[in-house]
Structure 1
Amino acid sequence: MAERDSKIKGTPLPRCPGTSVRDLALADTNPVPAFLYEDEYENLGSDPIPASRYTDPAFFALENERMWPRVWQMAAREEELPEPGDYIVYENAGKSFILMRQVDGAIRAFANVCLHRGRKLKTQDGWTSELQCPFHGFTWNNDGSLKQIPCRWDFAHLKDDAMHLPEISVGRWGGYIFVREAADGPSLEEFLAPMPEHFKRWRHEECATAIWVGKVIPANWKVVMEAFMESWHTVITHPQLLPFTGDANSMYNIYGDHVNLTVTPFGTMSPHIDAEGKEEQWIVDEFVKYNGRSSDNYDPDGVQEEGGYNVKVPAGMTARAALGASLRDTTSKMFGHDVSFASDAEMMDALLYNVFPNYSPWAGFQPNIVYRWRPWPDVDHCLMEVRIITRVPPGQPHPKAPPMKLLTDAQKWTDAPELGILGDVFEQDMENIPYVQQGLKASLNGQVQLANYQEMQIRQFQNTLMKYIDGTL
């Protein structure tokens, strides 16, 4: 165990019996990057989390004051503003910013506030040759410099240099655009580490947004986000996934304060299932029926069956190997990128990175899910966004991102048919999440208890949050 435990700080934590992520990686068809099966975490203890962090308006106000301005926030993807003059409005935690593509290709971010009487300059995304306030006509150039003040004779006290739109930091990585209000702090690359090194293999800059759906959820943003930070709720919440999901055998790594990684293996049975009499073909058939991320990417010449395609498991081959081979073949054909070298793990497993505080991209070579959660607008509500990004064939331009489809309160995730079976999975989550918020507000002991291993990423997240609240980060 010495080699395996070399990146574990403190006492190694117990794990669920059964086939591990490491076992599956060492049996993979192709080599798996070591960081996808090597343990790397710190034993963070077992102290409870105060329920008030999810329910108290005063704590919510502290987040807005002390945390949000100091962190890198994923605000957009490059394909949302491809041409000079394209802009998006990014709003979070009571702040509003305009991200604007410049003539030289750079992206700058300005406070979305007129310096005259305070009206928002823009209320929706679009293209513009200038930034003009709809109230009185104060106008700025797209680089934030002042262009015009109507009735300038009445504003002799205003100097052009002092009227430049306030600007915040912009960082770009992997096709994502980040902003940070605070001028000081770690660089974006330092904040994201080790993701930039890991993602050299998967290159999200080669991808573009294909699907984008959002919905306001009646729960605190942390409640909703943390529901996607562990896989072991699958056994009760998503039982249809158990035949092909190693839920309790997932690997949970943490890296410093801001990043963690969950590896949940697919194409292998949950340890909660009695494996007696279950064949490898059954695992594949269940995967094809219920795995929302990959079911649309099977060979269109195959036999369509219940939303997916048949994948036959040859004698002597495992379900993982058969699925990996099929996905490598069809992905290469559909997207024009040769992924013959990719491991089975990178073709099917849930490889979910969480970046503090609210951005979570999946990794690998399949179409990837990208989550984002934002307070919307108070302690009891948040906006949950789901993007699907897919690879752009070599030599083709990146298509402009579709606008986000914002579901109404009355609509369900299943009312976004473009999500496929993922909509059903999210609806299962929604059967819990609003009632978590209600339960936390009704709690008599005011405590949230966490598992030592399977929920340590939530503890890492909460520890980092408190460092910002306390001013130590």
Structure 2
Amino acid sequence: MAESDPRIKGEPLPRCPGISVHDLMAADSNPVPEFLYRDEYENLGSKPIPTSRYTDPAFFELEKEKMWPRTWQFAAREEEMPEAGDHVVYDNAGKSFLLVRQDDGSIKGFYNVCLHRGRQLKTEAGWSSALQCPFHGFTWNNDGSMKTIPCRWDFSHLKDEDMALPEVTVGRWGGYIFLREARDGPTLEEFLAPMPEHFRRWKHEECATAIWVGKVCHANWKVVMEAFMESWHTVVTHPQLLPFTGDANSMYNIYGDYVNLTVTPFGTMSPHLDPQGRSQQWIVDEFVKYNGRSSDNYEGGDAPEGGYNVRVPDGKTAREALGESLRATTTKMFGHDVGFASDAEMMDAILYNVFPNWSPWGGFQPNIVYRWRPWGDVDHCLMEVRIITRVPPGQEPPRAPKMKFLGVDQKWTEAPELGILGDVFEQDMANLPFVQVGLKSSRNGKVELANYQEIQIRQFQNTLMKYIDGEL
């Protein structure tokens, strides 16, 4: 699709030379949703970001005071707590919260604090008929009402109606459960817009967590998160992806204050590579080889049904061939017919970033879901990676696995269930701790951003400062 297409809003944008997202989607095998090729961009200026936002303990405290309590936070997935009495503990930025499934299927959220001496009521997910403090035995019903006060004769000054657990606001969308401390502010649907409209096609409520790994990283939570808000670091950090990734031809959209979208095309060669002598079949072979499913594994070159022995017919592109194969394989694996899906929705990196710390992928493949949380101090964070997959029709969603926890000295590759993603994340980790050291060593105290390819970082930083300054 040409840059002058009337469905593209605003002025033509600077693009890396090469095939654009719009060109690829114009040639797609199936119709592509309009929102995946419509530019939503505005110039946010070129002012540098102070390094102190990543390194200053005082700024870290301002985030805890002015931002975190006022924003919606992704706290759990529905399949983590499917039964009445199930509870999930969500800890972030020095506070602990408790989500509890009620008898009617609703979910309530509480501050995870005993109102007697302040102990956390729960320290991990589980099931309880009631919420009893392990210290002295004060007990609440799962709806937060007071149930039992031990030695009640010595607490004549306490009334049950005054001892209900303080609640936080709970929101639910797409199989995700959110909480917010503040009572005022945008509704969850307003906060997430336009994602509810976009995700009607992809229906994350029909998915369940298959893999869940978290790792402590030696870098500020924003440093790590912002590494996933642009794709152009691929050329140096992830060079093995270049044969089948249009890294610098990605599209970056921003939607208001809270949501942005990156579309990075796969099945096409990076504009950083010389295309001379490299065929569409070469692109496919590199894609298959990287994913560990080379057709060489199959005797006679014939892959089993739904396999990855992908051949590019004359007159077809790598994207068309891969899209056809992925539609067939995904339909077979998960029981949902995705024959209508576009090539883009089957292979491209369609990554939404939601302020402040949550990033789900769109499309019809098993989706990656990221979450980042401060971890103790300004210099550490917990990065979580989930893979959610579609539940076959008629089956009950399986309960989510427990998160595999990797410490700061462990590698992502120590979670073999992540497959090739573990290697990719390790390449990122080769940079991020040294970004944190570099920011602390900066002489001019500035971070300079690209106007387009890093526009999402600027949007995020602008929204953060609106919270810090009391504008949101």
Normalised TM-score (structure 1):
0.96
Give how far 1:394 is off.
Answer: 0.4
CA distance in 2, matches of 1:83, 1:5: 46
Give how far 1:316 is off.
Answer: 1.8
Structure 1 residue 235 corresponds to structure 2 residue 239: no
Q: Equivalences for 1:165-176 in 2 at 5 Å?
A: 165-176=165-176
Amino acid at match of 1:101: R
Structure 1 outlier segments of 4+, above 2 Å: 1-8, 289-292, 299-305
In the alignment, what sits opposite 1:195? 195
Equivalent residues of 2:218, 2:408 under 8 A apart: no
Give how far 1:23 is off.
Answer: 0.5
CA distance in 2, matches of 1:312, 1:100: 51
SS at match of 2:58: helix
In the alignment, what sits opposite 1:113? 113
CA distance in 1, matches of 2:366, 2:96: 30
CA distance in 2, matches of 1:458, 1:253: 11
In the alignment, what sits opposite 2:387? 388
Q: 1:171 to 1:151 in 2, by over 3 A?
A: same
Amino acid at match of 1:7: K
Give how far 1:332 is off.
Answer: 0.3
Q: For 1:55-109, what per-residue CA distance to the aligned partner results, in whole angstroms no more than 9, with x for missing partners? A: 0000000000000000000000000000001001000011101100000000001
Amino acid at match of 2:9: K
In the alignment, what sits opposite 2:469? 470
Amino acid at match of 1:311: V
In the alignment, what sits opposite 1:285? 285
Give how far 1:13 is off.
Answer: 3.7
Amino acid at match of 1:467: K
CA distance in 2, matches of 1:304, 1:441: 53
Q: For 1:189-214, what per-residue CA distance to the aligned partner results, in whole angstroms no more than 9, with x for missing partners? A: 00000000000010000000000000
In the alignment, what sits opposite 1:341? 340
Equivalent residues of 2:79, 2:400 under 8 A apart: yes
Give how far 1:12 is off.
Answer: 4.7
In the alignment, what sits opposite 1:46? 46
Equivalent residues of 2:353, 2:359 under 8 A apart: yes
CA distance in 1, matches of 2:18, 2:183: 48
Amino acid at match of 2:347: M
CA distance in 2, matches of 1:175, 1:379: 31
Q: For 1:291-344, what per-residue CA distance to the aligned partner results, in whole angstroms no more than 9, with x for missing partners? A: 59xx69xx9998679xx8331112221100000000000100000000000000
Equivalent residues of 1:5, 1:12 under 8 A apart: no
In the alignment, what sits opposite 1:7? 9
Q: Equivalences for 1:14-413 in 2 at 5 Å?
A: 14-291=14-291, 309-413=308-412
CA distance in 2, matches of 1:280, 1:463: 41
CA distance in 1, matches of 2:126, 2:289: 39
Q: For 1:91-147, what per-residue CA distance to the aligned partner results, in whole angstroms no more than 9, with x for missing partners? A: 001110110000000000111000000011111110000100111110000000000
Where do 5+ consecutive residues of structure 2 fail to align? Answer: none
Q: 1:268 to 1:198 in 2, by over 3 A?
A: same
Amino acid at match of 1:126: G
CA distance in 1, matches of 2:381, 2:22: 36
Amino acid at match of 1:261: L
Equivalent residues of 1:12, 1:43 under 8 A apart: no
Q: For 1:384-411, what per-residue CA distance to the aligned partner results, in whole angstroms no more than 9, with x for missing partners? A: 0000000000000000000000012332
Amino acid at match of 1:367: P
Over the matched positions of the two proteins, sequence identity in percent amounts to: 78
Give how far 1:282 is off.
Answer: 1.0
Amino acid at match of 2:259: V
Amino acid at match of 2:422: G
Equivalent residues of 1:13, 1:452 under 8 A apart: no
CA distance in 1, matches of 2:99, 2:331: 34
CA distance in 2, matches of 1:205, 1:5: 30
Q: 1:470 to 1:12 in 2, by over 3 A?
A: farther
Amino acid at match of 2:157: H
CA distance in 1, matches of 2:376, 2:7: 43
Q: 1:464 to 1:71 in 2, by over 3 A?
A: same
CA distance in 1, matches of 2:461, 2:381: 18
Normalised TM-score (structure 2):
0.96
CA distance in 2, matches of 1:328, 1:425: 25
CA distance in 2, matches of 1:303, 1:412: 36
Amino acid at match of 2:433: P
Q: For 1:239-282, what per-residue CA distance to the aligned partner results, in whole angstroms no more than 9, with x for missing partners? A: 00000000000000000000000000000000000000001111
CA distance in 1, matches of 2:70, 2:50: 23
Q: CA RMSD in A?
A: 1.8
Give how far 1:7 is off.
Answer: 2.8
CA distance in 1, matches of 2:15, 2:169: 42
SS at match of 1:383: strand
CA distance in 1, matches of 2:97, 2:298: 43
Deviates more, 1:34-43 or 1:185-194: 34-43
SS at match of 1:103: coil
CA distance in 1, matches of 2:5, 2:23: 15
Q: 1:185 to 1:311 in 2, by over 3 A?
A: same
Equivalent residues of 1:354, 1:360 under 8 A apart: yes
SS at match of 2:212: strand
SS at match of 2:196: helix
Deviates more, 1:277-286 or 1:217-226: 277-286
Q: For 1:27-48, what per-residue CA distance to the aligned partner results, in whole angstroms no more than 9, with x for missing partners? A: 0000000110111111111110
SS at match of 2:426: helix
Q: For 1:146-203, what per-residue CA distance to the aligned partner results, in whole angstroms no more than 9, with x for missing partners? A: 0000000111111111100000000000000000000000000000000000000100
